[in-house]
Amino acid sequence: MNSRRNERSETEAPATSETVPKPEQAISHPATPVKPDDMHYQAILNAIPIPAFVVDEDVTILDLNFSATDFCGQDRDAAYRRRGGDVLRCLHASDAPDGCGRGPLCKNCIIRTSVRKCLQEQVVSRKVMHLQIVHEQTAKEIQVLVTASPMLSGSEKLALVMIEDITEQQYPVYNVSPATPLKSIPKVGQEIKWQSRARALREFPEDTQIRLRQLDFNRIITLCVADEALYIKRVGLDKFLCCEA
């Protein structure tokens, strides 16, 4: 009996802190090459409901899904091996003769910096960008959410970039007090000096409370509360920061 126990202890080493991965440790996965002709891969890519692009370090498009072809107004063959700004019709893609990525403003492009960050640090990057494009021979600005994620592709450095148009998702400006003219929402990058004390929901009038209950965290809207125009941002379940608009 003792010999059997000894045999078992030698073959089955007890689990220790060295054999159990720690939460902060990155668990490596075997790299699986991207196969553009694989039907399963294509089905997954096309199932993504927002424009998605497979790009390299220079944001050269190697593949894109159905939503992306609709968004760009170009098919896969027309976009293949072209850089992102050229396909998206970025206004600044024509700033340099060599096109996208070569102009003076390209070094600060959110799409490019997001791809660079995700590939260098192997992290997912999500940033909002004001994208200026040429639409029907006129300049147009849209707001997009850019998500860049590194892809497992063997020795190649590839990223999956998703560009979601959120222009129409901007929160409207509410005017619940017709007696007070309502100012516009704060400009992008505008510094807002929030009041030091957050207000509770009960401190607002009942008609204002209805609006505030629907407000997402960290979204800013402009409301007229009694005769006071305020920028309001939700920072808790029952806490709201205010600033005179």
Structure tokens at 45: 């890519």
**Nearest by Cα to 223 from 239, 244, 238:** 244
Which pLDDT score is estimated for 211? 79
Which pLDDT score is estimated for 116? 93
What's the CATH architecture for 39-169? 2-Layer Sandwich (3.30)
Greater pLDDT, 187 or 230: 230
β pairing state of 52-55 and 158-165: antiparallel
Task: List the alpha helices (DSSP H) in the chain.
Answer: 2-11, 39-47, 66-72, 76-79, 84-88, 110-121, 206-213
What band does 111 get if pLDDT is binned at 50, 70 and 90? very high
Beta-bridged to residue 231, according to DSSP, are 222, 243
Using CA atoms, how far residue 222 sits from 68, 114, 196, 199, in Å, is 34, 31, 18, 15
Query: Is pLDDT above 60 for 26?
Result: no
Q: How far apart are CA 55 and CA 153, in angstroms?
A: 11
What band does 30 get if pLDDT is binned at 50, 70 and 90? very low
Query: Is pLDDT above 80 for 183?
Result: no
**Nearest by Cα to 36 from 25, 47, 44:** 44
Least confident of 117-126, 159-168, 175-184, 222-231: 175-184
Using CA atoms, how far residue 145 sits from 90, 111, 182, 201, 214, in Å, is 15, 10, 28, 30, 22
Average pLDDT for the chain: 76
Average pLDDT over residues 16-25: 36
pLDDT digits 0-9 by tens, 59-79: 999 999 999 999 988 888 999
Task: List the alpha helices (DSSP H) in 110-204.
Answer: 110-121
Query: Is pLDDT above 50 for 179?
Result: no
Average pLDDT over residues 102-121: 92
Which pLDDT score is estimated for 194? 84
Which pLDDT score is estimated for 158? 94
Question: Element (H or E) spanning 74, and its range?
Answer: none
What are the domain boundaries of the chain?
39-169, 171-245
Percent of the chain exceeding pLDDT 90 equals: 29
* pTM for the full predicted model: 0.56
What's the gap between Cα 219 and its chain centre? 15
Average pLDDT over residues 137-162: 87
